[in-house]
Structure formats: C-alpha cells, structure tokens
Amino acid sequence: MCWYKPLLKPLAFRFIAGETLREALPYGLRVQRQGLTPIFDILGEGAKNKEDSVRVSGEYIHLLHEMERNHLKGGISLKLTAFALDEDEETCFRAVSRIVRHAQPTKTIVWIDMEGPGYAPKTLKMYRRLLNEFDNVGVCLQAYLKRTHKDILSLLPDNPKIRLVKGAYEQPENAAYTKHEEINAHFKKLLTLLSENDVYTALGSHDMDIISHALTLPFPTHFEFQMLKGFRKYEKKLLSEHGYIVAEYIPFGKDWEKFIIRRIQERMRSLRWLVMTIAGMDK
C-alpha cells in the first residue's frame, strides 16, 4: 500500500461507494430509489495474467447476480486492462464475453471504459468483436482525441452504443486537443454527429456547457446522462425530474488510488482554469 493512501481515504469515499460489494449494493439501491440508474464499476486496472483476468470476471459475474437478486436495474462498466488486455487479447476477450453473456438475460449493458494513450485501437478492436456477438455492450470514446470523429464513423455500421466523455488521461499533443475550448468544440461536434446518426448515446460529463448543448439535440433512439458519484447531485435530480434518463457511475473496490488521483488532477485543472479566467490569463 502506498504511504499516502490513508490520507486520501476520506476524500475517496466521496467518489466511491466503498471497498466492497456489500457497501456498494445499498448505495446503488439508494441511487435507484432517487430515480437514477446505477452503473457499477469494480476498481482495478492492469491485470498481469490469465488468473487475474478470470478472478475479475468472476467478481463481475457475482456483481451481476447480486444486482439481479437485489432488483437493481442498471449497468456495469469495466476496463479491459483489468482482464490482461496488454498481455493476451484472447484471454481478455474470453473473460469479457463471459461477463457480457451473463448480463444478456437481464438486458444489462456492459460499458467498456476507454483508457490512456494508445488504448483506442485495441479497445475498439475488442468492442467490434463483442458487437459481433452481443448487443448489450457499449464503449466509451474520448472527445479530446482527434481520432474520435473517424472512430465514430467507422463504428456506425455496427450499431454501437457510445458513451462520450472528454478524456481523463494525459495524452501526447499530436493525438489530443488540450485547450478547454477546443475540447468542448470537438465534444459538441461529436454529439451532433451521434445525434444526426441516431446513435444510442450516453453523455459522460459534468460540464454544464456540454450538458446544455446536448439538451438542444434530438436523439430519437436513446439518450442518457451519465455522471460520476460525488458530482452534480442537484443537476442529476433536476434532469431526472424532467424525464431524462440519468445514470450514476458508482466505482467501488480496494484498488481506488488511480481513480481518485485522476479525479484530483481534474479538479486541479478546473481550479487552474478558474483562476486563469478570473485573472484574464486564459487566452
């Protein structure tokens, strides 16, 4: 365990629903009672071998059973590196398809998170393979990546389910937009593309500029908001009261450091932007 983990714990519990499924399930039920859709994520990334991959898929299948037993209707989200994507694609495919198959009878959507630099091609390759066999699977795409427009176009014939987010990892400048205005402009353009092609869309953002834009677009087939636990409590409630589908992404598990550090980095970027804007130095 890293030395600073105990210091982060009080902060972490604002953004995660605990370290165990026993803690996460009652939280999910509370979320559901508020009219929101829970999406559970078991924290952890970077499995090194087949044994890890099989163990994590077992944990997800147990989660699916417990969701059904507790009448929790929602989704699950996972990272392919938790299934040894880097070590062996076949091992990863088998483990994830086992989960998606278990999720099929209850029509639970399995969302595939998008990870850091270089993961888009491998993730999309895996997503296409899964889409060949299953329709209850969606993928996250990152609006800061310049390639995402092409990726959406290439997925269209396969009837994808797409969660669009800004992107949480440091990326090389040639691959990604880095300025807030550029990222938001690209995000809006991509949302319009999804709307025009009537793609099953989930918007993963807490940025009111992006959320307001999405509210102006028609999405005849399916549109939902997805927001992380610990963010925009009031707006989640308001949107849901206005009839929108609003999902809350609920991470849990012992392996929470990397997730929390990404959230802290985002807050630091937001604060930096706020200070620069107030000081008139944001140009």
Ligand X SMILES: Cc1cc2nc3c(=O)[nH]c(=O)nc-3n(C[C@H](O)[C@H](O)[C@H](O)COP(=O)(O)OP(=O)(O)OC[C@H]3O[C@@H](n4cnc5c(N)ncnc54)[C@H](O)[C@@H]3O)c2cc1C
Does residue 266 bind ligand X (CB under 6 A)?
Answer: yes
Beta-bridge partner residues of 4: none
Q: Nearest approach, Cβ of 31 to ligand X (angstroms)?
A: 13
Q: Nearest approach, Cβ of 269 to ligand X (angstroms)?
A: 6
Does residue 227 bind ligand X (CB under 6 A)?
Answer: yes
Does residue 114 bind ligand X (CB under 6 A)?
Answer: yes
> Near ligand X by CB under 6 A, which window of 65-73, 81-89, 98-106, 223-231?
223-231
Pick from 166, 186, 229, 236: which binds ligand X (CB under 6 A)?
166
Euclidean distance between CA atoms 162 and 60, whole angstroms? 21
**Under DSSP, is residue 111 helix (H, G, I), strand (E, B) or coil?**
strand
Does residue 206 bind ligand X (CB under 6 A)?
Answer: yes
Q: Nearest approach, Cβ of 3 to ligand X (angstroms)?
A: 26
> Near ligand X by CB under 6 A, which window of 16-24, 97-105, 188-196, 265-273?
265-273
Per the CB < 8 A criterion, the answer to whether 80 and 122 are in contact is yes
Based on its alpha-carbon atoms, the radius of gyration of the chain, rounded to whole angstroms, reads 18
Residues identified as active-site: 113, 163
Euclidean distance between CA atoms 110 and 94, whole angstroms? 14
* CB of 1 or CB of 174, closer to ligand X: 174
Per the CB < 8 A criterion, the answer to whether 34 and 244 are in contact is no
Where do we find the tokens 């699916």?
A: 64
Euclidean distance between CA atoms 231 and 283, whole angstroms? 28
Does residue 13 bind ligand X (CB under 6 A)?
Answer: no
Per the CB < 8 A criterion, the answer to whether 155 and 161 are in contact is no
Q: Nearest approach, Cβ of 272 to ligand X (angstroms)?
A: 7
